Amino acid sequence: IETKLPKVGTTIFTVMSQLAVQHNAVNLGQGFPDFDGPQSLRDALAEAMNSGRNQYAPMTGIPKLREQIAQKTERLYGRKVNADTDITVTSGATEAIFAAVAAVVRPGDEVIVLDPCYDCYEPAIDLVGGRAVHVPLSLPDFSVDWQRVKDAITPRTRMIMVNSPHNPSGAVFSAQDLDTLAALTRDTEILVLSDEVYEHIIFDGLPHQSVLRHAELADRSFVVSSFGKTYHCTGWKVGYCVAPRTLSAEFRKVHQYLTFCTFSPAQWAFAHVLEHDPQHYLDLPAFYQEKRDHFRDLLQGSRFQLLPVRGAYFQLVDYSAISDKDDLNFCEWLVREAGVAAIPVSAFYETAPAAKIIRFCFAKNDKTLADAAERLRAL
């Protein structure tokens, strides 16, 4: 049949995780922790399943969870959002991204994405007949060149997608970035999709510059987050979207037919931990900063050159001192010969830069990181 997604194969995360299994490698490729979330969360899930919380949840998410998300949003970002009209619980951030794009992007519309960008953005745009317009982030620090974004805007631009803390680079937005984005989209029809799944994984005391802190921008944005990242349970696939009432109404028209609702017991469990253990996400920056610092220390003395990491749980490294293979070939070689799986950064680009960079995930136990680092130092 004629494919609707000619550029798409199997995601690099699946490919690398399969190779990791095949070669019995340490898997620092696909981004997921190799440890569990809080015991209280898992207990709350079991409790929900054992107390009859097993039927359809309300389409928009259970009220108690939406209320907790609203409280967190106000506490952390100073924005009052209406739990009934502005918050929708989704089956992971992935579903939220698809629903937001499908809700507002019309055939022929352009959506600006900043490369390297997360791999589900472009297929979501393509499937609704939109066109992704790729603007590269500036090396070496993966900052946004807003002049280039401005130059990419046309009368057909419907949406700009941003992601801070950023996968794969770990770059984070400043308040100035938000001001500039607000200025660029002021008095236009352009909407913003802000992917903030790593909102609680940010280092060196930097504040997370959520779009929700910026009243003007928040009024035209979908802000997407994921409990998978925050609570070490990527396999549960629960996320949410915060957007003003009118945008949320359109979003929900799609969500109700994409999945209708999200796994009920997990919603009760997240509502429980948000209410009873708000410290968990406040402790996350220190928790992951220690892992970042530990992994970087372990790689000292290797021939990998470490790029700075300000947020998220990925370490980019330049491997040009080790090999002149391209990044996909290097990752295939690395998993086979060194027994460590990584992700080639070109997977996040339309046109990959010349730099030889791959991504390691450091959301791992110390022993996993030590095993991997020992293999990497030997190269």
Residue whose CB is less far from ligand PMP, 118 or 295: 118
Number of Cβ atoms within 10 Å of the Cβ of 52: 9
Closest approach of ligand PMP to the CB of residue 154, in Å: 26
Residue whose CB is less far from ligand PMP, 94 or 221: 94
Q: In what order do the strands lie in the sheet with 191-195?
A: 87-90, 239-242, 221-226, 191-195, 157-163, 110-115, 131-136
Closest approach of ligand GLN to the CB of residue 11, in Å: 6
Q: Applying CB under 6 A, which residues contact ligand GLN?
A: 11, 13, 30-31, 167
Q: In what order do the strands lie in the sheet with 305-306?
A: 305-306, 314-318, 357-361, 343-344
Q: Using CB under 6 A, which of the segments 141-149, 231-239, 252-260, 323-331 binds ligand PMP?
A: 231-239
CB burial of residue 154 (10 Å; 0-12, 13-18, 19+)? exposed
Instruction: Tell me which of ligand GLN, ligand PMP, none is bound by residue 93, counting a contact when its beta carbon lies within the kind-specific cut-off of 5 to 8 angstroms.
Output: ligand PMP
Say what the alpha-carbon torsion angle 47, 51, 55, 59 is, to the nearest 10 degrees: -60
Per-residue contact flags (x/-) with ligand PMP for residues 100 to 139, judged by CB under 6 A:
------------------x---------------------
Instruction: Tell me which of ligand GLN, ligand PMP, none is bound by residue 163, counting a contact when its beta carbon lies within the kind-specific cut-off of 5 to 8 angstroms.
Output: ligand PMP
Q: Using CB under 6 A, which of the segments 79-87, 91-99, 213-221, 263-271 binds ligand PMP?
A: 91-99
Instruction: Tell me which of ligand GLN, ligand PMP, none is bound by residue 226, counting a contact when its beta carbon lies within the kind-specific cut-off of 5 to 8 angstroms.
Output: ligand PMP
Closest approach of ligand GLN to the CB of residue 13, in Å: 3
Residue with the CB atom nearest ligand GLN in the bound state: 31
Residue whose CB is less far from ligand GLN, 167 or 169: 167
Instruction: Tell me which of ligand GLN, ligand PMP, none is bound by residue 30, counting a contact when its beta carbon lies within the kind-specific cut-off of 5 to 8 angstroms.
Output: ligand GLN
163 near ligand PMP (CB under 6 A): yes
Residue whose CB is less far from ligand GLN, 157 or 167: 167
170 near ligand PMP (CB under 6 A): no
Number of Cβ atoms within 10 Å of the Cβ of 140: 12
Residue whose CB is less far from ligand GLN, 29 or 265: 29
Closest approach of ligand PMP to the CB of residue 275, in Å: 21
142 near ligand PMP (CB under 6 A): no
Closest approach of ligand GLN to the CB of residue 31, in Å: 3
Residue whose CB is less far from ligand GLN, 11 or 71: 11
29 near ligand PMP (CB under 6 A): no
Q: Out of 11, 234, 259, 320, which residue is the one contacting ligand PMP (CB under 6 A)?
A: 234
Binding site for ligand PMP (CB under 6 A): 31, 92-94, 118, 163, 167, 195, 197, 226, 228, 234, 237, 239
